[in-house]
Structures are given as C-alpha cells and as structure tokens.
Amino acid sequence: MDDVNTPVLPLTSVKVLELSQILAGPTCGQMLGDLGADVIKIEKFPAGDDARGYRRDGDSGLAPSFLMVNRGKRSLALDIRTPRGNALVRRLVRGADVVTENFRLGTLERLGLGYEQLAAENPALVYCSITGYGRTGPLAHQGGFDLILQAFSGLLSVTGEPGGRPVKPGNSVADINAGLLAAFGVLAGYVQRLKTGRGTRVDTSLLHASMQQMYWFAAAYFSQGTIAKPAGTAHPLTAPYETFDCADGALAIGGANPANWERIAQLLGHPEWIADPRFATSPARLANRAALAEVMTAELRRHTTAHWLAKFDEAGVPAGPVHDVAQAMEHPQSRAAGMVIDVAHPKGGHTRGLGSPVQIGGRAFANTGPAPRLGQHSASVLHEFGLTDDEVRSLIDDGTVFQAPAPSGESR
C-alpha cells in the first residue's frame, strides 16, 4: 500500500524531449525531472551535449558539470538533420508532452521542427524555446551567451567594488535563471493544456533572464533617472546590508529595518549611533553608507566571526558567515535542506550533487539517478515510443541513431 503521506510528484508520467544543451535548457529539464517528469535528452553524436566536454585536468568519467544538471535523464543520440532523424523526432513528439530547445532562433523552423510544425503532429504539445534575445526585435536572430547578455542587460555594470571595472557574478546568472523561467513557463503551459486540451508555445531568453535580475536598479532609473554603480556587497536601497570584515573573516549582516539597526548599534556598544543624524533614518544611513561601514568595521574587527555570529543570533539580528564553496557544500544545513544530495554514479557507488530547490508536500525531492552516457537509452526509448526491433536496428545501422554499448552489468 502506498504511504498516504508520500506526495505524488505532479509531473509523474509527463514525457519531456530535451532538444537543448549546456546549462539553460538542461536546468529547465532538471527542474521538471525533479518534479517527476521523464526527461529524454535528444543529443547529437559523436560529441553529444557540449557540456560533456567541459572538463578540468583530473576529471574522470562524465564531466562533473554535465553530471550536475543531467542526473536522472535518459539519452537518445539522434541526428535530427537527416531526413530519417527529422521524421523520427516528429514521430516521438506524438507521444511526448513537452519539448524544450535552445537553438538559435529559426534553426528548428528551417528543419521543420519548430512549434507550428510539431504542434501539427501533437496539438497538445507544450513547446519551450530559450533564445538569446527573444523572438522579436532587431537582435532576435543573434545567438546568446551568458556573459554577453549579462553585459547587455546592465548586470555587469552594477557588480563589483565601487570604482572598479565591471565584474561578472561568479555564477551563470543568465543561463540558470533562463532555465528556471523556462520551467515556470512549461508548468504554466501544462496547466493551460489541462484546462483546454491544447498545448502552447513558451518562450524566454537570456535577455529576459538577465533583465529580470535588475528590478531595484530599473526602479531607480525609471523613477529618478539614477544610473546605479557597483557597490560591492551593499544593497542599493538600505543600510547596513552588506558584508563586513571581522578579525578572522567576513560576516554578512542584514540591518534592513529600524528595529534591527537599533539592535546592531546596541550590540556593537554604540547606542549613540541610533540618534546620530548620519544614521538615524534609513535614507540617512543609505546616504552615509561608507561612513557607517567604517565605524561598524572598526568594532567588528575586534572579534572573530564566530564571536559575532553568536552575539547577533542572541540579539535576533540576521547575520551569516561568508562561506567558500567547500564550506557551503559541507555545512549540515545544506544537506538538511535537501540541497546537497547523494547521486548514483555511473561506475558504481555514489557522488554528490545539488538537489531540487522546490519541496512538495513538505519534502525535498530530487531524481538521484545517474546522468546518462551518450546514447545510453537510445534503443529503449525508441521501443517505448512504439518502434519495432527492426526499425530501431535500421536507424542504428544507417547512422541516424547511436546506441552506446552497455557496460557489463548495466541495463540499456
């Protein structure tokens, strides 16, 4: 009997054909897979998803970057540019629920695999495209790259230290956010399908994903014409809300409301700051942010981060350590929250990955199956979609499809 307390994942039995690669599209697929979808990567061969080649010295097996956003998916290696491969995609679409793709605008349309063409095969299809600049406008036909769109959107111009050169955030903001927006759009499209019986086209882009990150900066520009500049870790609208040096490291402190600011002043031994005209109000603290940071840092440097963390926690002031990657991944809270998970490794044993940031029924779920080898599931997927043994063998023999040999003990 099923455990009544175990939630049924909402996308169980939903089939997704992932005609996308590297990071944005696979992030979308990973999110859908963690919600229960069966995500089938349709990959070119012999190279497959370009992220398979993103390796550092010392990497063995599948590239770690590929493993991270492709866990639990299945790989169908297929040449969509051949007539038989093209026809095969259209056949698969008839049994699919969702298609995701991140080709340059117009590429799949020219191959006969655009939304209109595939919707004719399956009117209930939800078709999600991730482009560089969107589907309309003078730059729509340009290709998109994370760094380029971060620069275009203004994001680089507000990142970094005051007076410094533009700085790229350490993560791929445009790619990852585009994947999240795409998953959001797919879910909306699927809800529409449940209501109407018909699918739809969903579009987002790296431009949309980058510009969405600019809420506060766009508000300042639209309201007063203010063009924001880099401010390090400081917040554009309130202070103190940034990182500060302590005796042995750095601490992030959030004093974004009057009550927390007053607690900070008391805790640091300077209750007179509360009435100081430079710091008495939120606009004053923002205008005098540099002076405020200077006097706070002078006190914070007297003790360690651990000392201050205990003090701030006792006072109820939001504060946290500035972790490096190892400290973040190894912290027990990261695993307790379901964000660091064990993942089955293709060669046996387990490795670790990042889990799903969405909880269902109060529990964090993630597909912990291994990322696929290129073409690992080609034959089994085609059989599931109704192809006969002879058809599958013919497609493999003429080079339309690649089926990876199964290592000893591994099922296809």
Average confidence (pLDDT) per 10 residues, the chain, 412 residues: 64 97 98 97 97 90 92 97 97 98 96 97 98 97 96 97 94 98 98 98 98 97 97 95 97 95 97 98 96 98 98 97 97 96 74 92 87 97 98 98 80 47
Same domain assignment for residues 142 and 261: no
Q: Is residue 387 part of a domain?
A: yes
Same domain assignment for residues 165 and 310: no
Same domain assignment for residues 176 and 278: no
Same domain assignment for residues 100 and 171: yes
The reported pLDDT for the residue numbered 1 is: 38
Q: Is residue 132 part of a domain?
A: yes
Same domain assignment for residues 137 and 259: no
The reported pLDDT for the residue numbered 61 is: 83
Q: Is residue 235 part of a domain?
A: no
Same domain assignment for residues 49 and 173: yes
Three-state SS sequence of the chain: CCCCCCCCCCCCCCEEEEECCCCHHHHHHHHHHHCCCEEEEEECCCCCCHHHHCCCCCCCCCCHHHHHHCCCCEEEEECCCCHHHHHHHHHHHCCCCEEEECCCCCHHHHCCCCHHHHHHHCCCCEEEEEECCCCCCCCCCCCCCHHHHHHHHCCHHHCCCCCCCCCCCCCCHHHHHHHHHHHHHHHHHHHHHHHHCCCEEEEEEHHHHHHHHHHHHHHHHHHHCCCCCCCCCCCCCCCCEEEEECCCCEEEEECCCHHHHHHHHHHCCCHHHHCCCCCCCHHHHHHCHHHHHHHHHHHHCCCCHHHHHHHHHHHCCCEEECCCHHHHHHCHHHHHCCCEEEEECCCCCEEEEECCCCEECCEECCCCCCCCCCCCCHHHHHHHCCCCHHHHHHHHHCCCEECCCCCCCCCC
Please identify which of the residues 50, 175, 324, 389 carries the catalytic annotation.
175
175 is catalytic: yes
Same domain assignment for residues 204 and 313: no
CATH number of the domain within which 297 lies: 3.30.1540.10
Domain total in the chain: 2
Containing structural domain, residue 168:
15-213+333-402
Q: How far is CA 236 from the centre of its chain?
A: 24
Same domain assignment for residues 98 and 173: yes
Mark which of 263, 297, 321 sits at the end of a domain.
321
Same domain assignment for residues 357 and 208: yes
Same domain assignment for residues 115 and 163: yes
Q: Is residue 196 part of a domain?
A: yes
The reported pLDDT for the residue numbered 295 is: 98
Mark which of 321, 353, 384 sits at the end of a domain.
321
Q: Is residue 240 part of a domain?
A: no
The reported pLDDT for the residue numbered 3 is: 53
Q: Is residue 91 part of a domain?
A: yes
Residue type, 401: V
The reported pLDDT for the residue numbered 6 is: 59
Contact call for residues 135 and 203 (beta carbons, < 8 A): yes
The reported pLDDT for the residue numbered 7 is: 65
CATH number of the domain within which 148 lies: 3.40.50.10540
Same domain assignment for residues 204 and 277: no
Same domain assignment for residues 85 and 188: yes
Q: Is residue 97 part of a domain?
A: yes
